């Protein structure tokens, strides 16, 4: 399904290391890359972002980039981002090649591009309250994997999620909000069956809700093809708001 690229494991490893520090190109204290320019891996890393993303076809490399990005976010040391007209034009002319699909809660405190410290063109983000998967969200995931060749899908939930809390409280949801809480309810039922109450019940419900979304994504025939051929991975993550850190749930 995806084109096979001929990078060796060692090259990918070095690429990961280089990519994780590539933003320091713009850092005054670490801008000496002249000795590395002859290295083909470096040449590709310092290429325009659309070419950089094209070579990130490994789910594990993509995951490491997100882990590294979150570490920078937690440390308060995000990379400089190229938001110039030149970069935007590059992406428009050459198309998008995001290396990860993020299905995230809509909560304004959980913005994927910021907490993963990624730039224009890097992430294909689907945001919906409670990070639930319906056919609409699943279609977006399938599009990003099948057509844009993104190798990694992350379901991103978070602690103290309002949508999960509403589903736990079980109060009457007005308008179309019930469509969200109804989708979360099986996770709440499973957590209640464990005898949990209070905050423990809410957080376990959120964890199971992430896992349920991963199962919904895994059930897609398009996703199965990618997962079985190991060209695509689906992982879950939970965001700790005060720490700023992510906990990977199936690693």
Binding site for Zn ion (CB under 5 A): 105, 107, 161, 163
The least CB distance from residue 242 to Zn ion, in Å, is 15
When the beta carbons of 128 and 141 are compared against Zn ion, the nearer one is: 128
When the beta carbons of 120 and 187 are compared against Zn ion, the nearer one is: 187
CA distances from 148 to 101, 140, 242, 245 (A): 10, 11, 33, 28
When the beta carbons of 142 and 159 are compared against Zn ion, the nearer one is: 159
When the beta carbons of 72 and 185 are compared against Zn ion, the nearer one is: 185
Instruction: Give the C-alpha separation, 114 to 74, whole Å.
Output: 10
DSSP 8-class letter at 17: H
DSSP 8-class letter at 231: S
The least CB distance from residue 190 to Zn ion, in Å, is 18
Instruction: Give the C-alpha separation, 203 to 69, whole Å.
Output: 25
Residues in contact with 121: Cβ distance below 8 Å, sequence separation at least 6, in sequence order: 49, 50, 53, 91, 96, 97, 98
The least CB distance from residue 163 to Zn ion, in Å, is 5
């Amino acid at each position: 399904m995806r084109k096979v690229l001929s990078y060796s494991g060692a090259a990918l490893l070095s690429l990961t290391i280089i990519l994780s520090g590539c933003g320091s190109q713009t850092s005054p204290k670490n801008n000496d890359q002249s000795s590395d320019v002859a290295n083909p891996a470096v040449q590709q890393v310092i290429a325009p972002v659309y070419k950089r993303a094209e070579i990130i076809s490994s789910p594990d490399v993509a995951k490491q980039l997100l882990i590294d990005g979150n570490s920078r976010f937690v440390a308060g040391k995000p990379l400089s981002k190229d938001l110039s007209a030149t970069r935007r034009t590059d992406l428009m002319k050459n198309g998008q090649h995001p290396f990860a699909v993020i299905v995230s809660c809509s909560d304004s405190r959980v913005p994927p591009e910021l907490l993963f410290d990624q730039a224009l063109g890097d992430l294909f983000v689907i945001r919906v309250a409670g990070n639930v998967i319906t056919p609409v969200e699943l279609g977006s995931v399938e599009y990003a994997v099948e057509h844009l060749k993104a190798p990694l899908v992350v379901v991103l939930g978070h602690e103290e999620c309002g949508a999960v809390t509403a589903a736990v409280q079980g109060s009457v949801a007005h308008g179309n909000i019930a469509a969200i809480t109804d989708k979360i309810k099986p996770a709440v039922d499973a957590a209640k069956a464990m005898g949990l109450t209070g905050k423990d019940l809410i957080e376990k419900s959120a964890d199971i809700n992430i896992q349920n979304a991963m199962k919904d994504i895994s059930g897609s025939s398009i996703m199965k093809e990618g997962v079985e051929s190991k060209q695509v991975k689906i992982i879950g993550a939970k965001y700790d708001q005060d720490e700023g850190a992510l906990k990977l749930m199936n690693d």
